[in-house]
């Protein structure tokens, strides 16, 4: 029997990836915070790295974790002392811009450096910081389960949109950006994600909105839509950069951005619906 080695590699990497994500989110508040900080840093550095050949700033990508740690610390202090966390994060962003202007040698490099750093942090870093802000010590069980539920919404939509697109997909969704995506897969992914949220979620996760079908349906719908937009957005970036994958960190899967592109775009709508009182 001929076994596809790439399939084995993808499967093992996928299992390890899921174990790390689930364990990191559910184990403790500290492990969840560290996991989200690690993901924010790695995704931001990965994005900055693939942008660098095109934009050519001279700044070093290792400045990113320093700036993200400052952002996470600002969010943490804002939550701890009940400040408006935006008032703490904004100075950090301005400080990072000042550092880049000091490091870069000329005006063109300064502008490129600021764009690359701010875009990398806002696009790939801040969504994970918002999830960290959402997970609280006082209600860790509920909020960590809610974040894991959010992760599974993205995974279910991605999986079934791909499977249905391969099986019955005929109409291209955005052929110039992502030729393999189809309207049938897109719609099917949304419907199955909604069914998953209504029929399976209440038995798997302990959240404060398990009995609210409105929140479950709306969050599943908008997460599916925005996850697809996020996937297309990252595909557009890769086409602009003329690359296939954002990286090679996950064997057989590509880079972290390839795995989290949909999640990054759907954080805000998800947090809106689970915090909105219907």
**One domain for residues 113 and 164:** no
**One domain for residues 153 and 249:** yes
Q: Which of 135, 169, 204 is the last residue of a domain?
A: 135
**One domain for residues 117 and 2:** yes
**One domain for residues 59 and 171:** no
**One domain for residues 61 and 143:** no
Low-confidence ranges of the chain (pLDDT < 50): 1-3, 81, 83, 277-278
Tell me the three-class secondary structure of 138-198, residue by residue. Answer: CCHHHHHHHHHHHHHHHHHHHHHHHHHHHHHCCCEEECCCEEEEEHHHHHHHHHHHHHHHH
Using an 8 Å Cβ cutoff, are 41 and 65 in contact? Answer: yes
* Residue pLDDT, tens place only, 190-223: 999 999 998 888 788 877 777 788 888 999 999 9
**One domain for residues 37 and 115:** yes
Task: Report the pLDDT value the prediction gives residue 1, as an integer from 0 to 100.
Answer: 43
Residues forming a β-bridge with 178: 174
**CA 257 – CA 244 distance, rounded (Å):** 12
**CA 162 – CA 31 distance, rounded (Å):** 31
Helices within 28-176 (DSSP H only): 29-55, 63-80, 85-103, 107-120, 126-134, 140-168
Tokens 């302990």 locate to: 206
**One domain for residues 160 and 254:** yes
Task: Report the pLDDT value the prediction gives residue 59, as an integer from 0 to 100.
Answer: 56
**One domain for residues 114 and 7:** yes
Task: Report the pLDDT value the prediction gives residue 189, as an integer from 0 to 100.
Answer: 93
How many domains is the chain built from? 2
Residues forming a β-bridge with 172: 182
Q: Whole-angstrom distance between the N-terminal and C-terminal Cα of the chain? A: 55
**One domain for residues 1 and 118:** yes
Residues forming a β-bridge with 182: 172
Task: Report the pLDDT value the prediction gives residue 137, as an integer from 0 to 100.
Answer: 59
- The token pair at 96 is 């990072």
Q: Which of 103, 135, 167 is the last residue of a domain?
A: 135
Residue span of the structural domain in which 95 resides: 1-135
**One domain for residues 189 and 214:** yes
Q: Which of 92, 112, 135 is the last residue of a domain?
A: 135
Task: Report the pLDDT value the prediction gives residue 63, as an integer from 0 to 100.
Answer: 61
- Maximum C-alpha span of the chain: 62
**One domain for residues 106 and 80:** yes
Distances (CA, A) of 195 to 102, 158, 223: 53, 14, 13
Task: Report the pLDDT value the prediction gives residue 121, as an integer from 0 to 100.
Answer: 77
**One domain for residues 118 and 90:** yes
């Amino acid at each position: 029997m001929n076994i596809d080695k790439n399939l084995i590699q993808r499967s093992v990497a996928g299992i390890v990836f899921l174990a790390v994500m689930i364990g990191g989110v559910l184990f403790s508040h500290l492990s969840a915070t560290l996991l989200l900080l690690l993901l924010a840093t790695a995704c931001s550095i990965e994005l900055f790295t693939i942008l660098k050949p095109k934009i050519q700033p001279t700044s070093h990508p290792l400045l990113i974790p320093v700036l993200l740690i400052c952002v996470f610390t600002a969010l943490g202090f804002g939550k701890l002392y009940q400040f408006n966390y935006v008032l703490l994060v904004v100075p950090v962003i301005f400080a990072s811009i000042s550092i880049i202007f000091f490091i870069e040698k000329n005006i063109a490099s300064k502008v490129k450096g600021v764009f690359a750093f701010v875009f990398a942090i806002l696009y790939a870093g801040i969504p994970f910081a918002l999830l960290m802000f959402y997970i609280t010590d006082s209600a860790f069980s509920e909020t960590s389960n809610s974040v894991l539920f959010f992760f599974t919404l993205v995974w279910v939509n991605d999986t079934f949109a791909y499977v249905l697109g391969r099986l019955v997909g005929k109409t291209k969704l955005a052929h110039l950006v992502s030729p393999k995506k189809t309207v049938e897969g897109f719609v099917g992914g949304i419907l199955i994600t909604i069914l998953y949220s209504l029929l399976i979620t209440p038995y798997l996760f302990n959240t404060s909105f398990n009995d609210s079908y409105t929140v479950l349906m709306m969050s599943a719908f908008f997460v599916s839509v925005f996850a697809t937009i996020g996937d297309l957005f990252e595909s557009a970036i890769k086409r602009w950069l003329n690359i296939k994958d954002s990286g090679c960190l996950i064997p057989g899967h590509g880079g972290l951005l390839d795995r989290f592109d949909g999640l990054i775009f759907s954080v805000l709508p998800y947090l809106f619906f689970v915090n909105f009182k219907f």
